[in-house]
Amino acid sequence: MIILFIFIGIVKSDSPGTILCNTYFSEQLCEDPGYCQWDGSICQPYTQNTDCYRIDEAGACRENGIYSSLGGSGLCEPLDVLENDYKNVCGITNIVDDEFIRYPIIKTGFSTHSLSGLTVTQLKISAPQYNYIYQVLSVNLQIAKNPDLQAILDLYKTYEAELLKNSIHPYQIEKPLVQTLQNLRDDTVTLLPDKQNTFKKFWILAEIYLKRLQTHKQNYQSYNYFLNFLQVPFSRLFLTLHKKSHIITISWTKYKKNGLIQLISYSPKIVGITNALSDVIFLNILSLEGTVYMDIEDMKVSYIQKSGTLSNVVRKMKFISDKTQIPHIFETNVINSAVCNSVMRECEYSLQSPLQQGTFAFYLEQ
């Protein structure tokens, strides 16, 4: 009898997300695993839970991963649900917060020139014309460093007349707005003065967008997690913003001529507000001729929390005097809610009637 012994060697390999960051000695090797950061000289793990959304490797947050509560630092949790439309795999909790959504970075194209090879400078000094607008739209904001990002936003302003034409869908202006805000939020290198300048240019492009929306169609909505857009005619008598944790309804009862209410909402922590119940909400109220309109009566703002508890106290609506500043600058006047209903998890705020302003920004304080 011949007995054949077969020895099987089992080689143990490190699972994704378990290798310590300090074992990587170059910037590329540090960034490739998707859960470490390069500080210019060494590779380090993230140390703040507000950075959990930056992680691309889910294994780093799962059992035995370097951020896991089971065998790691306990800094981050793996998300219960992973979606194809965003990159997030880890978070502070197992549910991703809208403000931390990361859309995939498209690497094709360039931040300094169009796909056809025209530089941003060439596009800017050329007389803006229709056959160049798609070259402008092909310049990649997502991969742009801040100086290039600002130059691209200046380019959009140069092409305002082309962007306002019916051949341009509002989404084609929404897209660079969302990409600009994500770029700003995730930029850990640019100093505040340059971020400030970029945010002012973001609002210049947002104003172009609102002009285009006026001529597109009266009822419109577009949700992008941390940046959302809505528009309704006065005749509808209400506008509703649906967020993951809450619903905001803005209603009114009377108006003397037809018009539109436009809304832009964005996550408050992006601009340094940490005590908000709601998004920051910008309202732009217009007549059908496009002029600011204020003769609307009985406007109310209702906040309904979808789950959890909401104590029955009076809460404040805080107004923003300069939305282009980071952090935002606030007005001294506030509006107090009625005592919030803890059973219905609802708070209601009544604005002056008729309105004193046709354009204003606010958020609801915790």
pLDDT one-digit tens code per residue, 341-364: 999 999 999 999 999 999 999 999
pLDDT (tens digit per residue) in 196-251:
999 999 999 999 999 999 999 999 999 999 999 999 999 999 999 999 999 999 99
50 and 179 both lie in a single domain: no
CB of 244 closer than 8 Å to CB of 278: no
252 and 356 both lie in a single domain: yes
CB of 13 closer than 8 Å to CB of 59: no
Q: Is residue 12 part of a domain?
A: no
194 and 179 both lie in a single domain: yes
Q: What pLDDT, on the 0 to 100 scale, is given for residue 55?
A: 96
pLDDT (tens digit per residue) in 70-106:
888 999 999 998 988 999 999 999 998 899 999 999 9
Q: Is the pLDDT of residue 126 over 90?
A: no
**Rounded mean pLDDT of the chain?**
93
**HSE of 62, CA atoms in CB hemisphere, 13 A:** 10
The pLDDT-based confidence of 31 (bands split at 50, 70, 90) is very high
Lowest mean pLDDT among 123-132, 160-169, 300-309: 123-132
Choose one of 187, 214, 241: the last residue of a domain. Answer: 214
284 and 327 both lie in a single domain: yes
Q: Is residue 103 part of a domain?
A: no
Q: Is the pLDDT of residue 331 over 90?
A: yes
Q: Is the pLDDT of residue 282 over 60?
A: yes
Domain that holds residue 184: 120-214
273 and 172 both lie in a single domain: no
239 and 354 both lie in a single domain: yes
Q: What pLDDT, on the 0 to 100 scale, is given for residue 15?
A: 87
Q: What pLDDT, on the 0 to 100 scale, is given for residue 64?
A: 92
357 and 231 both lie in a single domain: yes
Residues in a beta bridge with 250:
239, 301
Q: Is the pLDDT of residue 127 over 80?
A: no
194 and 320 both lie in a single domain: no
Contacts by residues 292-296 (CB-CB < 8 Å, ≥ 24 positions apart) = 292/358, 292/359, 293/257, 293/259, 293/358, 294/354, 294/355, 294/356, 294/357, 294/358, 295/255, 295/256, 295/257, 295/354, 295/355, 296/234, 296/252, 296/254, 296/255, 296/354, 296/355
Q: Is the pLDDT of residue 131 over 90?
A: no
Q: Is the pLDDT of residue 10 over 70?
A: no
The pLDDT-based confidence of 69 (bands split at 50, 70, 90) is confident
Between CA 104 and CA 101 the distance in angstroms is 10
**pLDDT > 70 fraction of the chain, expressed in percent and rounded:** 96
Number of domains, the chain = 3
Q: What pLDDT, on the 0 to 100 scale, is given for residue 9?
A: 38
What CA–CA distances, in Å, run from 285 to 32, 258, 350, 361?
47, 11, 17, 12
Q: What is the pTM of this model?
A: 0.92
Choose one of 172, 197, 214: the last residue of a domain. Answer: 214
225 and 356 both lie in a single domain: yes
Q: Report phi then psi at 176, rounded to 5.
A: -65, -30
Q: Is the pLDDT of residue 7 over 70?
A: no
What mean pLDDT do residues 188-203 have? 96
Q: What pLDDT, on the 0 to 100 scale, is given for residue 99?
A: 92
Q: Is residue 144 part of a domain?
A: yes
- Please give the structure tokens belonging to residue 166: 């019916």
230 and 356 both lie in a single domain: yes
Q: Is the pLDDT of residue 308 over 90?
A: yes
Q: What is the CATH number of the domain that holds 243?
A: 2.60.220
CB of 231 closer than 8 Å to CB of 260: yes
247 and 348 both lie in a single domain: yes
59 and 157 both lie in a single domain: no
Q: Is the pLDDT of residue 128 over 80?
A: no
Q: What pLDDT, on the 0 to 100 scale, is given for residue 71?
A: 82
Q: Is residue 114 part of a domain?
A: no
